Amino acid sequence: LLCLVAEFCCGFFVILILGNFWFLAVLYLLWLYVDWETPCAGGRRSQWVRSWTVWKYFREYFPIHLIKTSELNPNHNYLLGFHPHGVLVAGAFGNFCTGPTFKNLFPGLTPYLHITPIWFGCPFFREYIMTAGMVSASKESVSYVLNNEGGGHASVIVIGGAEESLNAHPGSLTLNILKRKGFIKMALKHGAHLVPVFSFGENELFKQVANPKGSRLRTVQEKLQKIMGFALPLFHARGVFQYSFGLIPYRQPIHTVVGSPIPVKQNLNPTTEEIDQLHALYLQKLKKLFEEHKSNYGIPEHKSLIFE
């Protein structure tokens, strides 16, 4: 979905260059040069854009729900680890970039959804995603958000990243997390409390072409992901007037459960051992969150999370 919108924006920019409006393209390039660091400096959110009526229908289509399990004191900054990535990341977008749901449940907190920096190089598209509250997933960007002295900021990071989208098959509970410890180091350096978030139903929105690890398709997808910075899962779902084939996601409920915070004391120079220890605690809390809520959302009792 992001690819399609980004391609449209890039195509529009090319039309400006080749057409009689090339001067507008030049002006925009000057703006891009001046504004290049904004995605790493908190972005430029617009409450008007985040409140568009279309997002209400977007959330109701699945529908998308945000479940609160614990209070988050707005005097602190938080790093929310979102799982799983899925194909669309609908739970993250619907709950943290649209509407008043998050603000109503967690008053005093402002969420920032961190996404792959490559998207902010796309003309015009970058302007939209910033107004929705999305910022870069770079270290500089996360630091900017978590450096807020008065607290009240919440960095939302999809921990599994683009690589995890290749595992987004219905029923899949595999998370790419064992080697991902950068978010732990950032939480320690800024004293940001860690909060595990699991979005039940995220992997049920699309059916993906079989791509087991070691297969030719998976190998090609992984190579492209390393080159481009984002993955290209081959997926399908339903159409507008029929349910057998199309690119519109299935109407499957999404329940995004926000867990209890893990207190983190600031440590500007954490050791590898300290990072590993907090990482292990985070995995423990994430697994506990999943186990406590899985029966509410149709997950069989014998199924558990798989960490890779």
pLDDT at 232: 80
Average pLDDT (206-210) is 92
* Per-chain mean pLDDT for the chain: 91
Which of 107-111, 160-164, 171-175, 277-281 is predicted least confidently?
Answer: 160-164
Do 115 and 173 share a structural domain? yes
Average pLDDT (14-36) is 78
- Using the predicted structure, report yes or no on whether residue 221 has a pLDDT greater than 60: yes
Could you tell me the pLDDT band of residue 254, with boundaries at 50, 70 and 90? very high
Q: Which domain holds residue 202?
A: 38-307
Nearest residue to 117 via CA among 34, 228, 192, 14: 228
User: Which residue(s) pair with 112 in the sheet?
Assistant: 155
Do 138 and 112 share a structural domain? yes
Do 43 and 25 share a structural domain? no
Do 170 and 111 share a structural domain? yes
Give the separation between CA 46 and CA 35, rounded to whole angstroms: 16
Total domains present in the chain? 2
Exposure string of 23-42, with b = 16+ CB inside 10 Å and e = fewer, is eebeebeeeeeebeebbbeb
Do 116 and 17 share a structural domain? no
pLDDT at 2: 57
178-188 residue pLDDT tens: 999 999 999 99
Instruction: State what percent of residues in the chain have pLDDT above 70.
Output: 93
For residues 232 and 139, which has the higher predicted lDDT (pLDDT)?
139
Do 68 and 8 share a structural domain? no
Give the separation between CA 171 and CA 150, rounded to whole angstroms: 41
Do 250 and 303 share a structural domain? yes
pLDDT at 10: 63
Do 91 and 20 share a structural domain? no
pLDDT at 8: 56
Do 143 and 28 share a structural domain? no
Do 276 and 259 share a structural domain? yes
Do 43 and 1 share a structural domain? no
* CATH code of the domain containing 60: 3.40.1130
Do 207 and 85 share a structural domain? yes
> How many residues in total does the chain contain?
308
